[in-house]
Chains A and B, each alone.
Chain A
Amino acid sequence: MSEILKYELKRLLFHKVYLILCAVIVCYSWGLLTRDVILGISNTAPFSEWSFGYYLAKISPILSIMLLFFVTFFYSKQEKEIKGILLATPTSYEKIVTIRYVVIAIGFLIQSGIVALLSFIFLNRFFGYTRIANFIGIIITVLLPTFFLFMGIGRMMGGKKNIVIYGIIMMVLILAFLSLPYQVELFGESFFKGYPLEIGGIEPEFYVPMGYWINRICYSVIGIGLFFLARRKEVRSQF
């Protein structure tokens, strides 16, 4: 089991596409930090929770696109062609698929780690800021729901045709440019940029309203639901 995990991890993490994407993430994140975040978001400090949340919300569509892209790796034509061989091995196919999603999760985690690390380096270098523990909650609320959602959507749609995932990637791009109310938005840009202004006052304290909690919980539940629904379908289709 661990051998398969190691093998799949090596396949993904040392894949040239993965490395290219990591380089892209580094460049984009640094650009965002030194261009937007440095000015402080919605009149708050560049090292405020609001500014950090905005930064993550801006990166989130890119991370989501990359996650979907990893999903397409495992549903490519070649992968489908070797499905027959995998079914003939002693390890159950379901386990292999589960391992692959664990690998995707690790890949996503590493990229999210790079994003967070860059911001910590930036805040430390420019402002001498070190209290990074303040941001852990924000990392979870911004990135985890979209991670669950796109894992679910990816597994649901990837089983059918990869072209559908490309369509979803396009949708993610469009969503990234749309400005929706924070109660329904996917990535959180409106919340982190608009809510401090809505609260009013100078440098408002970080506060997450119920509407945003519900939003994050809903997307997480939908994502997890889709993931297990897709799993059930896959298991059934084997018989």
Chain B
Amino acid sequence: MNFFGYARVELKRILSKKITWIVMIGAFFSPALSYWLNQSSNTSSTRTSMYLLNPAFVGAFVCVFLFGFFTISEFHDIYKNQMEVFTDAIVSPTIFYIAKLFVLIGFAILAQGMVVLLYFPYTKMKIGAMFRGSLYFEVYFTIMFPAILFSILFAASVYQIVRRADLSFLLFLIFILISFNQKMQQNFLLSWIKPLVAVLSDDFSNKRVMMTVYYNRLFWLCLMIGFCLFSFLCIRKYQKGIIGSFFYHIRKIYLPVLGIFCFILAAFLYQKQPFLDHSPLELDYENHYNINKYNQFLNYSKITAEIVPDVKKGTLQGNMTIELKNMSSNEQRMILTINPGYTISNVKANGKEVLVVDRQNDDFNEKQVEITLPAEKEILLSMEYGGFPREWSITETFQGDRQISSDYIYLDNTKFVPYIKVAPAINYLFEARITLPAHMMAVSFGRDDFVCISENEDGTKTWKLQQKGQGIIFYAADFTSEDLEAAGIPIRFIYSARHKEIMDKINIKETIKEVFEYCDEHIGALSFYGEEGMKLVELSAYSSGGYAGDGASAMAETCFSEEGLTDKNRGASGSEVMAHEIIHQWWGLGNMFMETEEEQEWSSEGLTVYTTYRLMKEKFGEEYAKENYVDLWQEGADKLKNNFYHRYPEYLEKLPESYVALIQNEQRPILKYQVMPLKILKAEQLVGGEEAMDKILKKLFQEKAYSYLTYEDFLNACGLTREDLELE
């Protein structure tokens, strides 16, 4: 009998057992558990996450247990009755092991196939117009199925090594327990049961995050195959023990060689992962700003960049030319910062190659490149750059935001174009040209806009942007745009064409108008937006929340979810994040707030959160605002006040730096989003109520819209002192 013959016999035997069918039924129902667990629908998530990602996660979790224990029980079946004496006489134990493994994997494929086919109609119905068939299959076959496969491979390998059901069972449990260790779960490569996918977008591409899932699966596959090959060496032969069998099998040299190769490959994949940079987790702002000093002997008059993204590979290639003036008569060193995933090449100054040093000093998702410029007055510097944009290491658990894919591109600052540490001349210009697939619309975050300058023969379009300053945030997608007017401001609302049906249904224009009109009335008329008006841009769910800038606000798609915007009882969700980001147009643009280490709590967030609270109080009533805002702020303030390290900062000095960073990073958002709004509320009560506070804020907005608004300014305007606002 050949290998397939044994596999057929084994298949028939396993099929005839009750436990097989129990496992299959368990696997089939496992994704449905997520519907039960998520009964209170999460309005701040996407439908694809709720009805596709979560079921796949729960299915993976349950099936890992089911198939792991099933595998151990199946392998133990022969040995517990000491039948190996007979089976070994008929078939080689190695062949038998492989045949059994194949049959078990076959069952896993069958169970997975069953799940995928039978859940398809329900998932499609729930996700509605945003459903994408390819993503559906991709999620189940990269998240749920590999988890089952790895559990089978691990359980089978462990059993072959220890040859005891109880011990295999225990080691399998330990393996699972270790997988739930927080460190493992926060590492996108180590989390094998539940890969680090925080959310799946309904409206935009999920390519970037799915790339990390594929990479994770490849890493674990190498590891598991290596482990499995090692277990081949332990298959008991001729009634020998583990050592004797090991030395017998090791003569087949290809087994250990292949196993070691797999382990080395896994180690290589771990070490050389291309998705995250190597920025330290501790944020040292002082060092960051000091290290990036501008060269005072240089200035630039024009920067031109031509960019071509490769939407299939997720990479970017660009050429940049800079017109520089060297005001000294010496060679000058110029620093430029660039995303750590990019490399710079072919750097020429006035046509001659110059010395380039890549410092490889990742920090704040940038690295520095040092260029030595010749001692010439006028310099035309040209260079090529490109690569795969790496995300910041601190965003490991929420990857997928910045990406290049066929239906969504989001790149900001040094991911789009290198940033030169040189001041501009009096008349200066930044010009960028980007070539995109024809269906994509290019949008910049800020006053200036991309203009389509040519439709190319290869089905692409070239877009051009001219602006002052190098900083740029760039989006491209299958956007649609609508013009509306609120509080006398023309607004260009840019969102995914996929979301149009829902936008119309939830009457989004009215909601936007409401926020603008409230702020206009209570804070003052907005003045800093471009000639074309203001831009509101919908981003993918990976952006979690949103941000605002000069003449533009960007918000994640979750702010526009049908559930979030239509459920009056759940205002503290999508619609309020949207309102918050629009309110940032009043508080926090440009240099209005300067964040300092000494006064971390004073930022644009305090006044923005307070204004959002006031809007919601007007809209939903006092009780609602208290429950969803004031009580939460108080909770945060109490948490901070009671925190051990807040009370005894001297103990922080005793801790290693990484722990200090962890604790401070935890405290920072509480200070900004909860403590400061509570202080502003206290100020409101001390100055005589809401109307009096509105007058103060109006005055501050008019006076400080174009300069720094410090905490001192706020206190002076209120006629209060720091001590007055100290929380009890």
Q: A: which residues have CB within 8 A of B?
A: 17, 20-21, 24, 28, 31, 34-35, 38-40, 43-46, 62, 65, 69, 72, 76-77, 126-128, 162, 166, 169, 173, 202-203
Q: Is B642 a contact of A202 with CB atoms below 8 Å?
A: yes
Stretch at the interface among B163-171, B385-393, B518-526: B163-171
Contact with A along B660-674 (1 / 0, CB 8 A): 001100000000000
| Candidates A28, A45, A162, A173; contact of B166 at CB < 8 Å | A162
B-chain residues with CB within 8 Å of residue A20 when the two chains form the complex: 171
**Cα distance A60–B655 in the bound complex, in angstroms:** 27
Using CB atoms, name the residue of chain A closest to B182: A35
**Cα distance A232–B504 in the bound complex, in angstroms:** 75
| Candidates A28, A45, A126, A173; contact of B173 at CB < 8 Å | A173
Q: Is A45 a contact of B644 with CB atoms below 8 Å?
A: yes
| Candidates B181, B641, B642; contact of A31 at CB < 8 Å | B181
Q: Is A69 a contact of B182 with CB atoms below 8 Å?
A: no
Using CB atoms, name the residue of chain A closest to B167: A17
Whether B651 sits at the interface, judged by CB under 8 Å, is yes
Contact with A along B328-352 (1 / 0, CB 8 A): 0000000000000000000000000
| Candidates B171, B183, B645, B655; contact of A126 at CB < 8 Å | B655
A–B Cβ pairs within 8 angstroms, 14 of them: A20-B171, A31-B181, A38-B659, A39-B644, A40-B643, A40-B645, A43-B642, A44-B644, A45-B648, A46-B644, A65-B170, A69-B166, A126-B654, A127-B654
Total residues of chain B contacting the partner, CB 8 A:
26
Using CB atoms, name the residue of chain B closest to A20: B171
Given A40-B645, A126-B654, A202-B641, 17 new contacts (CB under 8 A): A35-B182, A35-B183, A38-B655, A39-B644, A40-B643, A43-B643, A46-B644, A65-B173, A69-B170, A72-B166, A77-B80, A127-B651, A162-B166, A166-B166, A166-B169, A173-B173, A202-B642
Whether B639 sits at the interface, judged by CB under 8 Å, is yes
**Cα distance A23–B80 in the bound complex, in angstroms:** 28
**Cα distance A181–B405 in the bound complex, in angstroms:** 49
Contact with A along B616-641 (1 / 0, CB 8 A): 00000000000000000000000101
Contact with A along B483-520 (1 / 0, CB 8 A): 00000000000000000000000000000000000000
Q: Is A39 a contact of B663 with CB atoms below 8 Å?
A: yes
**Cα distance A76–B663 in the bound complex, in angstroms:** 48
Whether B647 sits at the interface, judged by CB under 8 Å, is yes
B-chain residues with CB within 8 Å of residue A65 when the two chains form the complex: 170, 173
B193-211 with Cβ < 8 A to chain A: none
The 7 closest A-B CB pairs, nearest first, are: A43-B642, A40-B644, A45-B644, A202-B642, A24-B174, A72-B166, A35-B182
B-chain residues with CB within 8 Å of residue A34 when the two chains form the complex: 659
Give B528 Cβ to nearest chain A Cβ, in Å: 42
B-chain residues with CB within 8 Å of residue A169 when the two chains form the complex: 173
B-chain residues with CB within 8 Å of residue A17 when the two chains form the complex: 167, 170
B344-386 with Cβ < 8 A to chain A: none
A-chain residues with CB within 8 Å of residue B648 when the two chains form the complex: 45
Give B194 Cβ to nearest chain A Cβ, in Å: 15
B645-696 with Cβ < 8 A to chain A: 645, 647-648, 651, 654-655, 659, 662-663
| Candidates B171, B644, B654, B662; contact of A43 at CB < 8 Å | B644
A-chain residues with CB within 8 Å of residue B663 when the two chains form the complex: 39
Listed residue (A28, A34, A39) with the most chain B CB atoms within 10 angstroms of its CB: A39
B-chain residues with CB within 8 Å of residue A72 when the two chains form the complex: 166
**Cα distance A73–B593 in the bound complex, in angstroms:** 67
A-chain residues with CB within 8 Å of residue B169 when the two chains form the complex: 166
Give A95 Cβ to nearest chain B Cβ, in Å: 26
Using CB atoms, name the residue of chain B closest to A69: B170
A-chain residues with CB within 8 Å of residue B659 when the two chains form the complex: 34, 38
Give A27 Cβ to nearest chain B Cβ, in Å: 8
B-chain residues with CB within 8 Å of residue A202 when the two chains form the complex: 641-642, 647
Given known contacts A43-B639, A127-B654, A76 and B644 CB-to-CB distance under 8 angstroms: no
Q: Is B655 a contact of A76 with CB atoms below 8 Å?
A: no
Give B663 Cβ to nearest chain A Cβ, in Å: 7
Give A47 Cβ to nearest chain B Cβ, in Å: 10
B-chain residues with CB within 8 Å of residue A31 when the two chains form the complex: 181, 183
Give A54 Cβ to nearest chain B Cβ, in Å: 13
B147-197 with Cβ < 8 A to chain A: 166-167, 169-171, 173-174, 177, 181-183
Using CB atoms, name the residue of chain A closest to B80: A77
Using CB atoms, name the residue of chain A closest to B639: A43
